[in-house]
Protein backbone atom coordinates (compact mmCIF):
# COMPACT_ATOMS: atom_id res chain seq x y z
CA UNK A 1 0.00 0.00 0.00
CA UNK A 2 2.58 2.47 -1.15
CA UNK A 3 2.19 5.79 -3.01
CA UNK A 4 -0.69 7.18 -1.08
CA UNK A 5 1.08 9.94 0.80
CA UNK A 6 0.97 13.40 -0.64
CA UNK A 7 2.74 16.56 0.41
CA UNK A 8 2.66 20.15 -0.75
CA UNK A 9 5.70 20.83 -2.90
CA UNK A 10 7.02 24.37 -2.64
CA UNK A 11 8.60 24.12 -6.08
CA UNK A 12 5.40 22.98 -7.85
CA UNK A 13 3.10 24.91 -5.52
CA UNK A 14 0.75 21.97 -5.48
CA UNK A 15 0.11 18.82 -3.56
CA UNK A 16 2.15 16.00 -5.04
CA UNK A 17 1.80 12.27 -4.67
CA UNK A 18 4.94 11.08 -2.92
CA UNK A 19 6.90 8.77 -5.22
CA UNK A 20 10.42 8.15 -3.94
CA UNK A 21 13.49 7.70 -6.12
CA UNK A 22 14.48 4.32 -4.74
CA UNK A 23 11.38 2.35 -3.95
CA UNK A 24 11.51 1.99 -0.16
CA UNK A 25 14.71 3.84 0.72
CA UNK A 26 14.06 7.48 1.47
CA UNK A 27 16.53 10.30 1.92
CA UNK A 28 15.17 13.21 3.90
CA UNK A 29 17.12 16.33 4.82
CA UNK A 30 16.04 19.08 7.20
CA UNK A 31 18.22 22.12 7.83
CA UNK A 32 19.42 22.18 11.42
CA UNK A 33 20.20 25.05 13.75
CA UNK A 34 23.14 27.38 14.18
CA UNK A 35 23.71 26.75 17.88
CA UNK A 36 24.79 30.14 19.22
CA UNK A 37 21.87 30.48 21.65
CA UNK A 38 18.90 28.44 22.88
CA UNK A 39 16.35 27.33 20.30
CA UNK A 40 12.98 29.12 20.31
CA UNK A 41 9.44 27.94 19.75
CA UNK A 42 9.70 28.72 16.02
CA UNK A 43 12.46 26.10 15.80
CA UNK A 44 10.30 23.72 17.82
CA UNK A 45 7.52 23.96 15.25
CA UNK A 46 9.87 23.02 12.41
CA UNK A 47 11.41 19.98 14.09
CA UNK A 48 8.09 18.66 15.40
CA UNK A 49 6.59 19.01 11.91
CA UNK A 50 9.35 17.01 10.26
CA UNK A 51 9.46 14.51 13.10
CA UNK A 52 5.87 13.62 12.24
CA UNK A 53 6.75 13.43 8.53
CA UNK A 54 9.62 11.09 9.46
CA UNK A 55 7.35 8.91 11.60
CA UNK A 56 4.65 8.89 8.93
CA UNK A 57 7.09 7.72 6.25
CA UNK A 58 8.39 4.97 8.50
CA UNK A 59 4.84 3.87 9.34
CA UNK A 60 4.44 3.13 5.62
CA UNK A 61 7.34 0.69 5.65
CA UNK A 62 9.93 3.05 4.18
CA UNK A 63 13.51 2.92 5.38
CA UNK A 64 14.30 6.57 6.00
CA UNK A 65 17.69 8.21 6.28
CA UNK A 66 16.99 11.45 8.09
CA UNK A 67 19.80 14.00 7.95
CA UNK A 68 19.89 17.21 9.99
CA UNK A 69 23.04 19.32 9.98
CA UNK A 70 24.58 21.43 12.73
CA UNK A 71 26.02 24.74 11.52
CA UNK A 72 29.00 25.03 13.84
CA UNK A 73 30.88 27.76 11.95
CA UNK A 74 29.15 31.03 11.19
CA UNK A 75 29.37 34.78 11.90
CA UNK A 76 26.88 34.46 14.77
CA UNK A 77 29.01 31.82 16.46
CA UNK A 78 32.17 33.85 16.01
CA UNK A 79 30.47 36.90 17.53
CA UNK A 80 29.12 34.90 20.44
CA UNK A 81 32.56 33.37 21.14
CA UNK A 82 34.10 36.84 21.03
CA UNK A 83 31.49 38.18 23.48
CA UNK A 84 31.60 35.22 25.79
CA UNK A 85 35.28 34.25 25.81
CA UNK A 86 36.98 37.21 24.18
CA UNK A 87 38.18 34.76 21.53
CA UNK A 88 36.33 34.12 18.27
CA UNK A 89 38.25 30.88 17.78
CA UNK A 90 36.30 29.33 20.64
CA UNK A 91 33.24 29.17 18.35
CA UNK A 92 33.36 25.41 18.64
CA UNK A 93 32.84 25.55 22.41
CA UNK A 94 29.77 27.74 21.89
CA UNK A 95 28.42 25.38 19.23
CA UNK A 96 28.98 22.26 21.33
CA UNK A 97 27.24 23.77 24.35
CA UNK A 98 24.15 24.99 22.50
CA UNK A 99 23.92 22.00 20.15
CA UNK A 100 23.63 19.74 23.20
CA UNK A 101 20.91 21.97 24.69
CA UNK A 102 19.08 21.99 21.35
CA UNK A 103 19.18 18.18 21.18
CA UNK A 104 17.80 17.97 24.73
CA UNK A 105 15.01 20.41 23.83
CA UNK A 106 13.83 18.53 20.75
CA UNK A 107 13.98 15.21 22.60
CA UNK A 108 11.77 16.72 25.32
CA UNK A 109 9.39 17.71 22.52
CA UNK A 110 9.18 14.03 21.62
CA UNK A 111 11.26 14.16 18.43
CA UNK A 112 13.20 11.08 17.37
CA UNK A 113 16.89 11.81 16.75
CA UNK A 114 17.85 11.90 13.06
CA UNK A 115 19.89 9.11 11.49
CA UNK A 116 22.76 11.55 10.94
CA UNK A 117 23.48 14.88 12.57
CA UNK A 118 26.72 16.01 10.93
CA UNK A 119 28.67 19.07 12.00
CA UNK A 120 30.00 21.32 9.29
CA UNK A 121 33.55 21.56 10.67
CA UNK A 122 33.87 17.77 10.44
CA UNK A 123 33.40 18.06 6.66
CA UNK A 124 35.63 20.91 5.56
CA UNK A 125 37.67 18.83 3.03
CA UNK A 126 34.44 17.76 1.24
CA UNK A 127 33.27 21.39 1.20
CA UNK A 128 36.56 22.60 -0.29
CA UNK A 129 36.36 19.89 -2.96
CA UNK A 130 32.82 20.95 -3.88
CA UNK A 131 33.83 24.61 -4.13
CA UNK A 132 36.78 23.62 -6.36
CA UNK A 133 34.43 21.65 -8.61
CA UNK A 134 32.11 24.65 -8.94
CA UNK A 135 35.04 26.88 -9.88
CA UNK A 136 36.33 24.31 -12.40
CA UNK A 137 32.92 23.98 -14.04
CA UNK A 138 32.45 27.76 -14.35
CA UNK A 139 29.62 27.96 -11.81
CA UNK A 140 31.84 29.89 -9.41
CA UNK A 141 34.76 32.29 -9.45
CA UNK A 142 37.53 33.40 -7.12
CA UNK A 143 37.79 37.08 -6.15
CA UNK A 144 40.37 38.31 -3.64
CA UNK A 145 40.53 34.92 -1.95
CA UNK A 146 36.75 34.55 -1.64
CA UNK A 147 34.70 32.33 -3.93
CA UNK A 148 31.27 33.28 -5.26
CA UNK A 149 28.58 31.25 -6.97
CA UNK A 150 27.79 32.68 -10.39
CA UNK A 151 23.99 32.83 -10.28
CA UNK A 152 23.72 33.59 -14.00
CA UNK A 153 25.23 30.14 -14.71
CA UNK A 154 22.14 28.38 -13.33
CA UNK A 155 19.03 28.85 -15.42
CA UNK A 156 16.52 27.73 -12.82
CA UNK A 157 17.55 30.26 -10.14
CA UNK A 158 14.46 31.75 -8.47
CA UNK A 159 12.15 28.86 -9.40
CA UNK A 160 11.90 27.44 -5.88
CA UNK A 161 10.90 30.73 -4.29
CA UNK A 162 8.86 31.68 -7.40
CA UNK A 163 10.81 34.83 -8.04
CA UNK A 164 11.89 36.31 -11.30
CA UNK A 165 15.63 36.78 -11.57
CA UNK A 166 15.22 40.33 -12.93
CA UNK A 167 13.11 41.32 -9.92
CA UNK A 168 15.56 39.66 -7.59
CA UNK A 169 18.43 41.56 -9.12
CA UNK A 170 16.53 44.85 -8.89
CA UNK A 171 15.72 44.14 -5.26
CA UNK A 172 19.20 42.94 -4.30
CA UNK A 173 20.85 45.03 -1.66
CA UNK A 174 23.44 47.37 -3.04
CA UNK A 175 26.46 46.26 -1.12
CA UNK A 176 29.89 47.77 -0.89
CA UNK A 177 31.23 44.68 -2.52
CA UNK A 178 32.66 45.16 -5.96
CA UNK A 179 34.23 41.71 -5.83
CA UNK A 180 31.01 40.19 -7.11
CA UNK A 181 30.16 40.05 -10.80
CA UNK A 182 26.47 40.28 -9.98
CA UNK A 183 24.69 41.40 -6.78
CA UNK A 184 22.87 38.05 -6.71
CA UNK A 185 26.08 36.02 -6.54
CA UNK A 186 26.63 34.54 -3.09
CA UNK A 187 29.68 33.44 -1.13
CA UNK A 188 30.74 29.81 -1.18
CA UNK A 189 33.96 30.61 0.63
CA UNK A 190 34.91 33.69 2.65
CA UNK A 191 38.51 34.91 2.65
CA UNK A 192 40.20 35.31 6.06
CA UNK A 193 43.67 36.52 7.03
CA UNK A 194 46.53 34.11 6.44
CA UNK A 195 46.75 31.38 9.07
CA UNK A 196 43.10 31.68 10.13
CA UNK A 197 40.56 28.86 9.71
CA UNK A 198 41.33 26.58 6.74
CA UNK A 199 43.82 26.70 3.89
CA UNK A 200 42.80 26.16 0.29
CA UNK A 201 44.54 26.66 -3.02
CA UNK A 202 42.95 30.13 -3.30
CA UNK A 203 43.96 31.17 0.22
CA UNK A 204 42.82 30.90 3.85
CA UNK A 205 39.19 31.19 4.84
CA UNK A 206 35.98 29.51 5.89
CA UNK A 207 32.85 28.23 4.15
CA UNK A 208 29.84 30.40 3.39
CA UNK A 209 26.59 29.19 4.91
CA UNK A 210 24.72 27.58 1.99
CA UNK A 211 27.39 25.23 0.65
CA UNK A 212 27.34 23.05 3.78
CA UNK A 213 23.82 21.74 3.16
CA UNK A 214 24.59 20.78 -0.46
CA UNK A 215 27.69 18.91 0.64
CA UNK A 216 26.23 17.25 3.73
CA UNK A 217 23.07 16.22 1.88
CA UNK A 218 25.26 14.61 -0.80
CA UNK A 219 27.62 12.98 1.70
CA UNK A 220 24.84 11.33 3.72
CA UNK A 221 21.93 11.17 1.30
CA UNK A 222 23.50 10.87 -2.18
CA UNK A 223 22.88 13.01 -5.25
CA UNK A 224 19.10 13.22 -4.92
CA UNK A 225 16.86 13.72 -1.93
CA UNK A 226 13.26 12.60 -1.72
CA UNK A 227 12.29 15.28 0.76
CA UNK A 228 13.95 18.46 1.91
CA UNK A 229 12.39 20.41 4.74
CA UNK A 230 12.86 23.56 6.70
CA UNK A 231 11.18 26.70 7.92
CA UNK A 232 9.66 29.07 5.37
CA UNK A 233 12.34 31.65 6.14
CA UNK A 234 14.95 29.32 4.65
CA UNK A 235 13.26 29.09 1.26
CA UNK A 236 15.07 32.19 0.03
CA UNK A 237 17.94 32.60 -0.24
CA UNK A 238 19.20 29.51 1.59
CA UNK A 239 17.29 26.77 -0.21
CA UNK A 240 17.39 28.56 -3.53
CA UNK A 241 21.17 28.66 -3.19
CA UNK A 242 21.41 25.06 -2.01
CA UNK A 243 19.47 24.00 -5.08
CA UNK A 244 21.66 26.02 -7.43
CA UNK A 245 24.82 24.54 -5.91
CA UNK A 246 23.64 20.92 -5.76
CA UNK A 247 22.17 20.82 -9.26
CA UNK A 248 25.38 22.32 -10.65
CA UNK A 249 27.48 19.80 -8.71
CA UNK A 250 25.50 16.60 -8.83
CA UNK A 251 22.82 17.02 -11.51
CA UNK A 252 19.12 17.83 -11.37
CA UNK A 253 16.83 17.38 -9.66
CA UNK A 254 18.38 17.87 -6.25
CA UNK A 255 15.11 17.35 -4.39
CA UNK A 256 11.85 15.66 -5.25
CA UNK A 257 9.63 17.45 -2.74
CA UNK A 258 10.58 20.66 -0.96
CA UNK A 259 8.47 21.18 2.16
CA UNK A 260 8.33 24.36 4.21
CA UNK A 261 6.57 25.00 7.47
CA UNK A 262 5.13 28.46 8.10
CA UNK A 263 6.28 30.90 10.78
CA UNK A 264 5.35 31.16 14.39
CA UNK A 265 4.19 34.75 14.85
CA UNK A 266 3.72 36.99 17.83
CA UNK A 267 1.20 39.79 17.35
CA UNK A 268 1.29 39.36 13.56
CA UNK A 269 5.07 39.49 13.40
CA UNK A 270 7.38 36.59 12.68
CA UNK A 271 9.09 35.31 15.79
CA UNK A 272 12.82 35.50 15.36
CA UNK A 273 16.08 36.06 17.11
CA UNK A 274 16.72 39.20 15.12
CA UNK A 275 13.39 40.81 16.11
CA UNK A 276 13.93 39.90 19.77
CA UNK A 277 10.29 38.77 20.19
CA UNK A 278 11.02 35.09 20.69
CA UNK A 279 10.24 32.65 23.47
CA UNK A 280 12.85 29.93 23.91
CA UNK A 281 11.74 26.34 24.21
CA UNK A 282 13.16 26.26 27.72
CA UNK A 283 11.07 29.28 28.72
CA UNK A 284 8.01 27.62 27.22
CA UNK A 285 8.68 24.36 29.12
CA UNK A 286 8.55 26.31 32.38
CA UNK A 287 4.95 27.23 31.60
CA UNK A 288 3.61 24.17 29.81
CA UNK A 289 4.47 20.53 29.42
CA UNK A 290 6.62 19.88 26.31
CA UNK A 291 4.00 17.41 25.13
CA UNK A 292 1.29 20.08 25.28
CA UNK A 293 3.48 22.35 23.15
CA UNK A 294 3.93 19.49 20.69
CA UNK A 295 0.17 18.94 20.53
CA UNK A 296 -0.38 22.70 20.10
CA UNK A 297 1.95 22.72 17.09
CA UNK A 298 0.33 19.69 15.57
CA UNK A 299 -3.27 20.89 15.70
CA UNK A 300 -2.28 23.87 13.55
CA UNK A 301 -1.53 22.93 9.97
CA UNK A 302 2.21 23.23 9.33
CA UNK A 303 1.72 25.41 6.24
CA UNK A 304 -0.31 28.08 8.02
CA UNK A 305 1.26 30.78 10.18
CA UNK A 306 0.79 30.07 13.86
CA UNK A 307 -0.09 33.05 16.05
CA UNK A 308 1.39 32.11 19.35
CA UNK A 309 -0.38 32.94 22.62
CA UNK A 310 -0.41 31.47 26.11
CA UNK A 311 -4.22 31.49 26.01
CA UNK A 312 -4.13 29.18 23.00
CA UNK A 313 -1.63 26.95 24.75
CA UNK A 314 -4.05 26.71 27.68
CA UNK A 315 -6.80 25.82 25.18
CA UNK A 316 -4.59 23.18 23.56
CA UNK A 317 -3.87 21.70 27.01
CA UNK A 318 -7.60 21.26 27.61
CA UNK A 319 -8.09 19.73 24.18
CA UNK A 320 -5.15 17.37 24.74
CA UNK A 321 -6.62 16.32 28.09
CA UNK A 322 -9.88 15.46 26.33
CA UNK A 323 -7.92 13.36 23.85
CA UNK A 324 -6.10 11.56 26.67
CA UNK A 325 -9.42 10.82 28.41
CA UNK A 326 -10.89 9.59 25.14
CA UNK A 327 -7.99 7.18 24.62
CA UNK A 328 -8.53 5.57 28.02
CA UNK A 329 -6.19 4.69 30.82
CA UNK A 330 -3.26 2.32 30.59
CA UNK A 331 0.03 2.27 28.80
CA UNK A 332 0.20 2.20 25.04
CA UNK A 333 0.79 -1.28 23.70
CA UNK A 334 3.34 -0.15 21.12
CA UNK A 335 6.99 0.25 21.92
CA UNK A 336 9.21 3.11 20.69
CA UNK A 337 9.27 1.44 17.27
CA UNK A 338 7.06 2.98 14.65
CA UNK A 339 4.06 0.82 13.91
CA UNK A 340 3.65 -0.43 10.33
CA UNK A 341 0.11 0.67 9.68
CA UNK A 342 -0.86 -1.87 7.05
CA UNK A 343 0.47 -4.84 9.01
CA UNK A 344 -1.37 -3.63 12.05
CA UNK A 345 -4.66 -3.08 10.26
CA UNK A 346 -4.69 -6.62 8.89
CA UNK A 347 -5.63 -7.86 12.35
CA UNK A 348 -8.73 -5.69 12.52
CA UNK A 349 -12.30 -6.44 11.48
CA UNK A 350 -13.34 -4.81 8.14
CA UNK A 351 -15.49 -2.15 9.84
CA UNK A 352 -12.70 -1.21 12.23
CA UNK A 353 -10.20 -1.13 9.41
CA UNK A 354 -12.47 1.15 7.41
CA UNK A 355 -12.80 3.49 10.39
CA UNK A 356 -9.03 3.70 10.92
CA UNK A 357 -8.47 4.23 7.18
CA UNK A 358 -10.81 7.21 7.25
CA UNK A 359 -9.04 8.60 10.27
CA UNK A 360 -5.51 8.14 8.97
CA UNK A 361 -6.36 9.40 5.45
CA UNK A 362 -6.11 12.89 6.95
CA UNK A 363 -2.44 12.37 7.67
CA UNK A 364 -1.78 11.06 4.17
CA UNK A 365 -3.28 14.30 2.90
CA UNK A 366 -0.36 16.69 3.51
CA UNK A 367 -0.04 15.80 7.22
CA UNK A 368 -3.45 17.09 8.20
CA UNK A 369 -3.19 16.37 11.92
CA UNK A 370 -5.99 18.67 12.94
CA UNK A 371 -8.27 16.93 10.43
CA UNK A 372 -7.43 13.62 12.06
CA UNK A 373 -8.01 14.94 15.57
CA UNK A 374 -11.30 16.47 14.42
CA UNK A 375 -12.36 13.07 13.11
CA UNK A 376 -11.46 11.45 16.43
CA UNK A 377 -13.42 13.98 18.51
CA UNK A 378 -16.35 13.70 16.15
CA UNK A 379 -16.46 9.93 16.69
CA UNK A 380 -15.63 10.04 20.39
CA UNK A 381 -18.63 7.98 21.47
CA UNK A 382 -17.92 5.22 18.96
CA UNK A 383 -14.29 5.08 20.03
CA UNK A 384 -15.12 4.96 23.74
CA UNK A 385 -17.63 2.18 23.18
CA UNK A 386 -15.21 0.01 21.25
CA UNK A 387 -12.05 -1.09 23.12
CA UNK A 388 -10.25 -2.37 20.01
CA UNK A 389 -10.78 0.93 18.19
CA UNK A 390 -9.81 2.85 21.28
CA UNK A 391 -6.54 0.97 21.63
CA UNK A 392 -5.78 1.30 17.91
CA UNK A 393 -6.40 5.05 17.90
CA UNK A 394 -4.21 5.46 20.95
CA UNK A 395 -1.41 3.38 19.51
CA UNK A 396 -1.42 5.30 16.19
CA UNK A 397 -1.45 8.69 17.90
CA UNK A 398 1.41 7.54 20.06
CA UNK A 399 3.44 6.06 17.24
CA UNK A 400 2.94 8.60 14.46
CA UNK A 401 2.20 11.81 16.31
CA UNK A 402 4.66 10.97 19.09
CA UNK A 403 2.18 11.71 21.91
CA UNK A 404 2.39 9.63 25.10
CA UNK A 405 -1.29 10.19 25.94
CA UNK A 406 -0.53 9.67 29.62
CA UNK A 407 -2.48 11.84 32.07
CA UNK A 408 -0.91 15.24 32.61
CA UNK A 409 0.14 16.06 36.15
CA UNK A 410 -2.22 18.25 38.12
CA UNK A 411 -0.74 21.69 37.98
CA UNK A 412 0.34 23.12 41.28
CA UNK A 413 0.98 26.79 40.93
CA UNK A 414 3.12 28.63 43.46
CA UNK A 415 1.62 31.96 44.51
CA UNK A 416 3.74 34.80 43.22
CA UNK A 417 3.36 38.55 43.74
CA UNK A 418 2.31 38.77 40.08
CA UNK A 419 -0.52 36.26 40.57
CA UNK A 420 -1.62 37.88 43.83
CA UNK A 421 -1.77 41.26 42.11
CA UNK A 422 -3.87 39.89 39.23
CA UNK A 423 -6.25 38.21 41.72
CA UNK A 424 -6.61 41.45 43.68
CA UNK A 425 -7.21 43.45 40.51
CA UNK A 426 -9.81 40.97 39.43
CA UNK A 427 -11.64 41.06 42.77
CA UNK A 428 -11.72 44.83 42.43
CA UNK A 429 -12.96 44.67 38.81
CA UNK A 430 -15.79 42.34 39.86
CA UNK A 431 -16.77 44.68 42.67
CA UNK A 432 -16.99 47.44 40.06
CA UNK A 433 -18.97 45.03 37.85
CA UNK A 434 -16.35 45.54 35.10
CA UNK A 435 -16.90 42.11 33.52
CA UNK A 436 -14.74 42.79 30.49
CA UNK A 437 -11.70 43.57 32.62
CA UNK A 438 -12.52 40.67 34.88
CA UNK A 439 -12.52 38.28 31.90
CA UNK A 440 -9.22 39.67 30.65
CA UNK A 441 -7.66 39.08 34.04
CA UNK A 442 -9.10 35.56 34.18
CA UNK A 443 -7.43 34.79 30.84
CA UNK A 444 -4.12 36.14 32.12
CA UNK A 445 -4.41 34.05 35.27
CA UNK A 446 -5.30 30.93 33.31
CA UNK A 447 -2.29 31.45 31.10
CA UNK A 448 -0.23 31.37 34.30
CA UNK A 449 -1.90 28.10 35.26
CA UNK A 450 -4.36 29.56 37.79
CA UNK A 451 -7.93 28.31 37.45
CA UNK A 452 -10.38 30.91 38.71
CA UNK A 453 -13.70 29.86 40.20
CA UNK A 454 -16.16 32.59 41.09
CA UNK A 455 -18.84 32.66 43.73
CA UNK A 456 -21.48 35.39 43.88
CA UNK A 457 -20.27 38.95 43.88
ZN1 LIG B 1 20.35 24.15 4.92
Q: If you measure from the C-alpha of residue 391 to the centroid of ligand 1, how many angstroms do you get, rounded to a whole number?
A: 39
- In the predicted model, is pLDDT for residue 104 greater than 70? yes
Residue of higher predicted confidence among 275 and 345: 345
Beta-strand (E) ranges in 285-360? 306-307
- Cα of 210 from ligand 1 centre, angstroms: 6
Beta-strand pair 225-231/255-261: parallel
The Cα–Cα gap between 399 and 418 comes to 40
Q: How confident is the model over 68-83, as a mean pLDDT?
A: 97
Superfamily for the 6-261 domain: HUPs (3.40.50.620)
Whether the upstream peptide bond of residue 253 has omega within 30° of 0, thus cis, is yes
* 206 vs 412, residue with greater confidence: 206
Q: Is residue 420 very low, low, confident or very high in pLDDT (cuts 50, 70, 90)?
A: confident
The residue-averaged pLDDT of 207-217 equals 97
Ligand 1 centroid to Cα of residue 123, in Å, is 15
What is the C-alpha to C-alpha distance for residues 11 and 96, in angstroms, rounded to an integer?
34
Contact between residue 34 and residue 94 where contact means Cβ atoms under 8 Å apart: no
In DSSP notation, 65-106 reads EEEE-B--SSHHHHHHHHHHHS-GGGHHHHHHHHHHHHHHHH
Measured CA to CA, the distance from residue 78 to residue 91 in angstroms comes to 5
By the CB criterion, residues less than 5 angstroms from ion ligand 1 are 31, 213
* pLDDT surpasses 80 at 452: no
CA 209–ligand 1 middle distance (angstroms)? 8
Provide the residue ranges of all domains of the chain, joining segments of one domain with +.
6-261, 270-401, 410-457
Q: Which of 21-30, 67-76, 161-170, 241-250 comes out lowest in average pLDDT?
A: 161-170
SS (H, E, C) 212-266: HHHHHHHHHHCCCEEEEEEEHHHHHHHHHHHHHHHHHHHCCCCEEEEEEECCEEE
For residue 331, the CA-to-ligand 1 centroid distance in Å is 38
Give helix 240-250 / helix 124-136 axis angle, nearest 10°.
70
| Cβ neighbours of residue 259 closer than 8 Å, sequence gap 6 or more | 7, 8, 9, 10, 50, 53, 227, 228, 229, 230
Q: Cis before residue 183, ω within 30 degrees of 0? A: no
Q: What is the pLDDT of residue 1?
A: 45
CA of 260 to the centre of ligand 1 (A): 12
Amino acid sequence: MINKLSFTSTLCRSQELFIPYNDRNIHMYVCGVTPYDDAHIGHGRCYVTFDVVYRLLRSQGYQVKYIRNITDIDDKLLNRARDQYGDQFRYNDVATYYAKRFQEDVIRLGCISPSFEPRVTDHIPEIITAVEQLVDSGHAYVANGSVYYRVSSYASYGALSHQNIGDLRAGARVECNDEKEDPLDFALWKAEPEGEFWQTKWGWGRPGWHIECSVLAHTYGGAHLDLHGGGMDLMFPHHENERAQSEALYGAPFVKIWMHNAFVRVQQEKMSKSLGNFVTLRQAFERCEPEVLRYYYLIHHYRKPLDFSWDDIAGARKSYQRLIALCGVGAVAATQEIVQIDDYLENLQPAEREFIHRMIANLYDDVNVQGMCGFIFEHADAIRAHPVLQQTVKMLLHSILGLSLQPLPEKTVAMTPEIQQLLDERTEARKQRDWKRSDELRAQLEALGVAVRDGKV
